[in-house]
Amino acid sequence: MRSLQVVLVSSVGVLALGVAIVAFAPELTSKIASTSQFAMFRAAVNIHHQLYGTNSSTRPSVETSFMSKILKNSPSVDAERVHKPSVFRKHLEETMISLCAYPSHLNITRTMHSVPVGNGASIPMLWLDFPASTPKPSKHITIVYFHGGGFIEGSIKAYEGVVANLVNELQLIGNSVGGSLHYSVVIPEYRLAPENPLPTGIEDCLEAYKYILKEGNDENTILFMGDSAGGHLTISVALEAIEKGVPTPKALVAFSPWTDLTNSNPSITTNADNDPVLNPAMINKFSDWSAPSMEAKEKYSLLNYDARKFENVFPPLLIQVGSHEMLLDDAIFMSKLTGDLEIYENQGHDFNLFVGWIPEAEDALQSVNKFIKHHLL
């Protein structure tokens, strides 16, 4: 028993070292980081199963416990001392790429587009078309994915691996129960604050959506999806579409949405020590950069909106959040205005994105699949 405990501790230690190496020397590990880290992670989990009698059905999962500890102890940007957005952007990009490598083996058709956003400016947009599982799929669904990052960080490069793995898993789930779904996903790279504070991100994403419609895509086959600040955009862009008379997407899915930019909900404080991803200094800095005045913070806080905005023509919304998140109350209070809410126990911010790493991410996608089949099929 003692020897197994030593092996378990050593395995987790080696995995943590692997994460640290990626953080400090990404160029050294760009090709092997994700594979090697995942192998070490699975080894540590399997040893835990043998030692403590847990298994793949255990919830909260062993993977969640390990991942939470790894994220909490991994190098991060000190938001109280760092005042350059570029530092945050680089750190997120390196972390996302190391943990969620792009699945190049899947033969996904990858196309870049340039979307005009007014005043001679344009933004890049990545279009991924997944190979259909059958010669004649019963339904083609286009997901417009709005990336997270507090309106400050995030990019196509940072998110393409995460989103591709997520949508591939969603297609596999949908087709494992007798379906024949075919997915495409589009990722607009909206302009970021503080260089471009809100509402620039909202306006850019609406222009991207209008571009997608002009390309001949039927709004009844389109799903908005996003995480964190992208969860905000999932909701706010749909509202903006209604306001501007643009046909709305058929449904919306928001992972861990940031809906109160004043950061005044109780869980911001009560879950500060529980959330392995967010911390108060970071989220307050991002709020100040994306909405520099209190008037702007209140204006773009979705929780301040009149409930009547979400009546009648507002699309069905699924909100997923972890019980350990600082943004837990953002999700709960948003669901009181509109949407179905699912709370996943012991999960931290953006747990949905860790497909393949933690089984709760797959659990959440099973629910997303049911939501999609109910509203888009």
Whether pLDDT at 305 is above 60? yes
CATH number for the domain harbouring residue 295 = 3.40.50.1820
- 38 domain residue, yes or no: no
Whether pLDDT at 4 is above 90? no
- The mean pLDDT of 39-51, rounded to a whole number, is 87
- 30 domain residue, yes or no: no
> What percent of the chain shows pLDDT beyond 70?
90
In 10 A of CB 40, how many CB atoms?
Answer: 19
What whole-number distance in Å separates Cα of residue 232 and Cα of residue 250?
17
Can you give the residue range of the structural domain that contains 348?
Answer: 85-376
The pLDDT value recorded for residue 29 is 43
Instruction: Give the single-character DSSP code of 248.
Output: P
- 50 domain residue, yes or no: no
- 249 domain residue, yes or no: yes
Quote the radius of gyration of the chain (alpha carbons, Å).
Answer: 20
* Range with the poorest average pLDDT among 6-20, 129-143, 240-254: 6-20
95-125 pLDDT, tens digit per residue, is 999 888 899 999 999 999 999 999 999 999 9
Whether pLDDT at 20 is above 80? no
- 253 domain residue, yes or no: yes
In 10 A of CB 247, how many CB atoms?
Answer: 15
Task: With beta carbons less than 8 A apart as the criterion, state whether 102 and 333 touch.
Answer: no
- 197 domain residue, yes or no: yes
Contacting residues for 29 by C-beta, under 8 A, at least 6 apart: 21, 22, 36, 98
Q: pLDDT averaged over the chain?
A: 90
- 159 domain residue, yes or no: yes
Whether pLDDT at 41 is above 90? no
Whether pLDDT at 232 is above 60? yes
Query: What is the DSSP track for 100-128?
Result: S---GGG--EEEEEEEEEETTEEEEEEEE
- The mean pLDDT of 52-68, rounded to a whole number, is 91
The pLDDT value recorded for residue 35 is 66
CA torsion through residues 168, 171, 175, 181, sign? negative
> What percent of the chain shows pLDDT beyond 90?
76
* Range with the poorest average pLDDT among 20-29, 128-137, 259-268: 20-29
Domain count, the chain: 1
- 280 domain residue, yes or no: yes
φ, ψ dihedrals at 127, nearest 5°: -120, 120
